[in-house]
Amino acid sequence: MGFSGGETSSPAGTIGASESGEAAGTSGAATSTSTSTTESSTGDAGSTGAPSLFDVGGAGADGADDTTGEPGCDRPGRDVIYLVSESAEVEPELIVPGLHRFDPETLEVTSLGWPACAGTSPQGLTVDRSGMLWLLAVADDGWKRIYVVDPDSLDCTETAFVEANNEGYGPESLTFVTDALDADTEGLYLLSVQEPDAMTTVTLRRVTDLDTMEVEFVGHVSPPKLLADLSGTGEARLLALVYEGNGGASVAELDTATGALVWETPVVDIDVDDSCTGCGVAQWGGLMWSFPFDGFSNSAVYTIDLDDGTTDLMVPDLGIKVTAAATSTCVPYERPPRG
C-alpha cells in the first residue's frame, strides 16, 4: 500500500456516503507460491448501486446462510487469507492487479482473477462473515469507492461509498470486527491517513449502515501513530500494523470505541520501505501474517507473534507482490497447540 493519492475534481451529483471532515481504509495480495497456484475463470461484473447484504452472496449482515439461517463460518472459503497483488506498468500494457486465496495451513496460493468493475488501483481489502470480499479501490473517475466481490465468480457490485482521493488524505484500509467475543454480528471499520509525515491525523471510522454506507467518526488514533493496515478478529479485536517511517514496524491493537492504542509491540527482523508498499497484513491463528516485498523481489510470507513481535519466515518467495491482505472474522484467532 501507499499513503498518497492524486487530486481529483468532484463528480456530478451527490457524494452520498461520507462524513464531512473525517475519512478512512487499507489491505494486500499475491499469485503463485512456493507450493502451487491454480487458476479460476473471471466472472462478469455485476450491476452498480448500493447492495443489500441480503442480496450479496446469499448472506445477511450477520453472515447467516440464507438456506439454514446459521452463521456462514462453516461454509467453504471462510478460513483462508485473501490477497491483492500489485498492478504494474509493463510495456506495452498495464498488468492489472489480481485476487488470490492463500491457505496458511498448506501455504498454497490460488489465483482468482480480477473483477471487471473495480478498476486497477486497489487500496484495501476485507472479508465479511458470508465470505464476500469488500474492496476499496480508486475508480476510473478518480474517486475512492468500495465494491463487494464474490471471490468464486468475481461478480462485483458497487456500494454507495464514494469519497475524494485528495492528495495525502483519504481512506486507506478497512476491516470487519465482531461486535463481541464470538458474535455473529460485525462492524466495518475504516482507516484514513493524512500523509506519511502527518502523525496527528490518522482517523478511525465505522460504517453505520452497510446498505447506505453512512459512516460515523470513532476517533483519531492516539497516541498519534501512522497505521498501515487493519485486521479484525472474531474476538472483537481491531489489530493493526504500525509503520514507523524509518524502516521499522509494530503490531498494535486499537480500541474500537475511541481509536486509542491499547498496546503496541515492535516487529523483529522485518523492514519496510519508505512508502510501506508491502504492508498488508492479516490475522490468522493468533498470529499476524505479513507479506513484505521490495523493488527487486516478490513478497515473502512471515508470521508475527503478537506478544513479542518475533517473526518466522514461512515462504521466502510467494511469486507475486502483495499490496493487501485480509481475513474474515471466521478465521481462528487462537494459537494452535504446539506439538
This prediction has a pTM of 0.78
Is residue 116 helix, strand or coil? Answer: helix
Output 103 or 336, whichever has higher pLDDT.
103
Extents of the domains making up the chain: 53-170+270-326
Output 46 or 249, whichever has higher pLDDT.
249
Whole-number Å distance between alpha carbons of 337 and 249: 27
CB contact set of 1 (below 8 Å; sequence gap of 6+): 26, 27, 28, 123, 124, 172, 173, 228, 229, 276, 277, 279, 280, 323, 324
User: Which position has the grid cell 511469486?
Assistant: 319
Instruction: For 201-258, write each residue's pLDDT tens digit.
Output: 788 999 999 999 999 999 988 887 878 899 999 999 999 998 876 778 899 999 999 9
Do 240 and 335 touch, CB atoms closer than 8 A?
Answer: no
Burial 147-184 (b: 16+ CB within 10 A, else e): bbbbbebbbbbbbbbbbbbeeebbbbbbbbbbeeeebb
Amino acid 96: pLDDT = 79
Whole-number Å distance between alpha carbons of 76 and 99: 17
